[in-house]
């Protein structure tokens, strides 16, 4: 159980989830016509000629069709890993019953890769042969990975590596205010007091093993037995080229075999970076996805050159999806003034998660009641697309109430809409995330490839809190208490021999 003093003024147990045509030439004929033949013989010979001609034409046509089919399928996006290997992989998924043995490494290694903002479906936007290879020869969440709420970068990345919902690991938003100290958390806050729970790199080190992190929210925080060791823990620098990040991770496999870290992270800001600027449907997204696929190819090639590709468990995920937003989908808090005035000083987050902390003397329940009266009146532009809640009355499936860090009033905004304080002349169209995690556009990807992932296996969608237990199971180490199901790994991994 995470210390309740760090999360809430009331004891809150960590709930776990236990079971959620050319014409023929006469030279080709086997005989010649005879002018002295009878009409009947001539007719028979003519019929034979026509039959043979048709036979030749048909043969040529079939040969051409076969050649075309070969050329087409041999150049399809997943040619090397799909048409042939996907058939063998699909059948392998049915026959594999135990994990494949390691061939070069003497211990399991997990490489966790995040492509920020990789919305489920992006993999179909362009040719992605390398991602396709991992899918064809591994395990995929068939309809995507479900992020935790709010579907924001820091809460989700930290949920992936702790197995905890944000209310329990403490990172309830990308930015928030501690109601006790009045201090503000930002994405540059590395003090341990903010980061609760036990992330995977700390779990690994607790077992006397080595971990390496090439960027991941929370990885720079020196907490418990993790001291962010030099050379194995990279301090975030968004200007580092993606190729350099891949090459550094590959260099860990050049260490003596007993010194190779058993757990590694690798992070790319794309395609989230492009998604916020242009939304999910722009050509920039397609180009970003193609580049991510190229990087995965670089990684695979490097692992193959070192002879360890089949030994390494690669888990590729995103943290959330993306949806298009535009000015016509705006809701303004100032439009509620007839029912209640909500000053900007009350608002900790506008969109896509509206978070309001009324001052002492203002009852949160009154704020919710008056806001919903205005929003439901039909007199507030787009008002019907926002609903205010007391945090304890939010749908329980969101798991977003058991922390004093979560403001008392939360507004759920419908997909694609945004909240602002007041009307301005600013005009923009782009993309956003952070919405209800039940919204399909918020889904991202899960791909697992390695000895314990069945080839060609498709599994139902699941929440990312289950990844922590999956990784500790692969590494055969005991994890810290978390919100995930202890039985989940058996539904996605092959058992060890």
Q: What is the pLDDT of residue 459?
A: 98
Does residue 37 form part of some domain?
Answer: no
Q: Are residues 190 and 316 in the same domain?
A: yes
Q: What is the pLDDT of residue 458?
A: 98
Q: Does residue 443 register a pLDDT over 80?
A: yes
Among the listed residues 128, 151, 153, 213, the single catalytic one is 153
Average pLDDT, whole number, for the chain? 87
Q: Does residue 4 register a pLDDT over 80?
A: no
236-267 confidence digits (pLDDT tens): 999 999 999 999 999 999 999 999 999 999 99
Q: Are residues 269 and 388 in the same domain?
A: no
Does residue 293 form part of some domain?
Answer: yes
155-164, 190-199, 326-335, 424-433: least confidently modelled range: 424-433
Instruction: Indicate the pLDDT class of residue 59, thresholds 50, 70 and 90.
Output: low
Q: Are residues 225 and 301 in the same domain?
A: yes
Does residue 278 form part of some domain?
Answer: yes
Does residue 27 form part of some domain?
Answer: no
Contact yes or no for 104/311 (Cβ under 8 A): yes
Structural domain harbouring 399 = 328-426
Q: What is the pLDDT of residue 328?
A: 86
Instruction: Indicate the pLDDT class of residue 13, thresholds 50, 70 and 90.
Output: low
Q: Are residues 206 and 115 in the same domain?
A: yes
Q: Are residues 417 and 459 in the same domain?
A: no
CA dist 48 and 52 (Å) reads 6
Does residue 8 form part of some domain?
Answer: no
Q: Are residues 248 and 292 in the same domain?
A: yes
Structure tokens at 127: 């040719």
Domain boundary among 373, 394, 426: 426
Does residue 15 form part of some domain?
Answer: no
Instruction: Indicate the pLDDT class of residue 117, thresholds 50, 70 and 90.
Output: very high
Mean predicted confidence (pLDDT) in 60-88: 41
Q: What is the pLDDT of residue 96?
A: 85
Q: Does residue 49 register a pLDDT over 70?
A: no
Domain boundary among 375, 396, 426: 426
User: CA nearest 214: which of 135, 268, 289?
Assistant: 268
Q: Are residues 189 and 297 in the same domain?
A: yes
CA dist 18 and 219 (Å) reads 28
Q: What is the CATH number of the domain that holds 366?
A: 3.30.1360.180
Q: Does residue 82 register a pLDDT over 80?
A: no
Tally of structural domains, the chain: 2
Q: What is the pTM of this model?
A: 0.84
Within 10 angstroms of residue 413's Cβ, the number of other Cβ atoms is 23
Does residue 298 form part of some domain?
Answer: yes
124-138 confidence digits (pLDDT tens): 999 999 999 999 999
Instruction: Indicate the pLDDT class of residue 14, thresholds 50, 70 and 90.
Output: confident
Instruction: Indicate the pLDDT class of residue 94, thresholds 50, 70 and 90.
Output: low
Q: Are residues 339 and 315 in the same domain?
A: no
User: CA nearest 274: which of 264, 294, 254, 288?
Assistant: 288
Q: What is the pLDDT of residue 428?
A: 78
Instruction: Indicate the pLDDT class of residue 24, thresholds 50, 70 and 90.
Output: very low
Q: What is the pLDDT of residue 295?
A: 98
Q: Are residues 225 and 354 in the same domain?
A: no
User: CA nearest 318: which of 353, 274, 270, 284?
Assistant: 270
Q: What is the pLDDT of residue 114?
A: 98
Q: Are residues 346 and 398 in the same domain?
A: yes
Structure tokens at 425: 């002349």
Mean predicted confidence (pLDDT) in 174-193: 96
300-358 confidence digits (pLDDT tens): 999 999 999 999 999 999 999 999 998 889 999 999 999 999 999 999 999 999 999 99
Instruction: Indicate the pLDDT class of residue 5, thresholds 50, 70 and 90.
Output: very low
Residue linked to tokens 């180009």: 287
Catalytic-residue membership of 153: yes
Q: Does residue 447 register a pLDDT over 90?
A: yes
Q: What is the pLDDT of residue 79?
A: 36
Domain boundary among 402, 426, 450: 426
Q: What is the CATH number of the domain that holds 138?
A: 3.40.720.10
Q: Are residues 342 and 316 in the same domain?
A: no
Q: Are residues 353 and 285 in the same domain?
A: no
Q: Would you state the torsion angle of the CA atoms of residues 32, 33, 35, 38, taken in this order, to the nearest 10 degrees?
A: 130
Q: Percent of the chain having pLDDT more than 70?
A: 81
Q: Helix or strand or coil: residue 185?
A: strand
- For 261, phi then psi, to 5°, come to -60, 140
Does residue 101 form part of some domain?
Answer: no
């Amino acid at each position: 159980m995470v210390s309740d003093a760090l999360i809430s003024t009331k004891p809150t147990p960590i709930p776990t989830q236990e079971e959620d045509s050319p014409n023929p030439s006469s030279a080709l004929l086997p005989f010649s016509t005879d002018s002295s033949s009878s009409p009947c013989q001539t007719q028979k010979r003519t019929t034979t000629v026509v039959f043979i001609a048709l036979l030749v034409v048909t043969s040529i046509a079939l040969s051409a069709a076969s050649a075309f089919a070969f050329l087409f399928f041999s150049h399809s996006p997943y040619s090397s890993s799909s048409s042939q290997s996907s058939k063998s992989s699909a059948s392998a998924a049915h026959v594999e019953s135990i994990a494949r043995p390691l061939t070069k490494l003497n211990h399991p290694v997990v490489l966790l890769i995040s492509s920020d903002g990789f919305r489920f479906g992006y993999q179909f936007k362009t040719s992605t042969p390398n991602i396709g290879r991992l899918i064809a020869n591994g395990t995929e969440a068939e309809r995507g990975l479900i992020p935790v709420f709010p579907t924001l970068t820091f809460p989700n990345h930290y949920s992936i590596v702790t197995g905890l919902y944000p209310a329990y690991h403490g990172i309830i938003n990308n930015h928030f205010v501690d109601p006790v100290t009045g201090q503000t958390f930002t994405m540059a806050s590395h003090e341990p007091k903010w980061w609760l729970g036990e992330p995977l790199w700390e779990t690994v080190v607790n077992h006397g093993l080595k971990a390496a992190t090439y960027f991941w929210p929370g990885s720079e925080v020196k907490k418990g037995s993790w001291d962010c060791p030099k050379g194995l823990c990279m301090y975030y620098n968004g200007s580092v080229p993606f190729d350099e990040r891949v090459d550094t991770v590959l260099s860990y496999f050049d260490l003596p075999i007993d010194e190779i870290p058993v757990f590694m992270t690798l992070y790319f800001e794309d395609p989230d970076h492009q998604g916020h600027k242009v939304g999910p449907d722009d050509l920039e997204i397609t180009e970003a996805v193609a580049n991510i696929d190229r990087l995965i190819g670089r990684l695979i090639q490097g692992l193959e050159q070192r002879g360890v590709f089949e030994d390494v468990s690669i888990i590729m995920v995103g943290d959330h999806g993306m949806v298009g937003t535009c000015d016509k989908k705006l809701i303004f808090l100032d439009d509620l003034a007839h029912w209640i005035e909500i000053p900007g000083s009350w608002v900790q987050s506008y969109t896509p998660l509206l978070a309001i902390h009324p001052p002492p003397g203002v009852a949160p329940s009154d704020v919710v009641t008056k806001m919903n009266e205005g929003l439901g009146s039909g007199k507030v532009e787009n008002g019907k697309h926002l609903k205010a809640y007391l945090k304890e009355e939010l749908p329980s499936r969101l798991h977003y109430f058991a922390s004093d860090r979560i403001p008392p009033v939360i507004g759920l905004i419908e997909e694609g809409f945004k909240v602002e304080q007041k009307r301005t002349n600013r005009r923009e169209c782009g993309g956003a995330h952070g919405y209800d995690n039940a919204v399909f556009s918020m889904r991202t990807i899960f791909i697992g490839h390695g000895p314990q992932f069945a080839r060609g296996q498709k599994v139902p969608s699941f929440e990312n809190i289950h990844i922590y237990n999956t990784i500790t199971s692969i590494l055969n180490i005991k994890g810290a208490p978390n919100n995930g199901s202890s039985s989940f790994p058996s539904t996605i991994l092959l058992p060890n021999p």
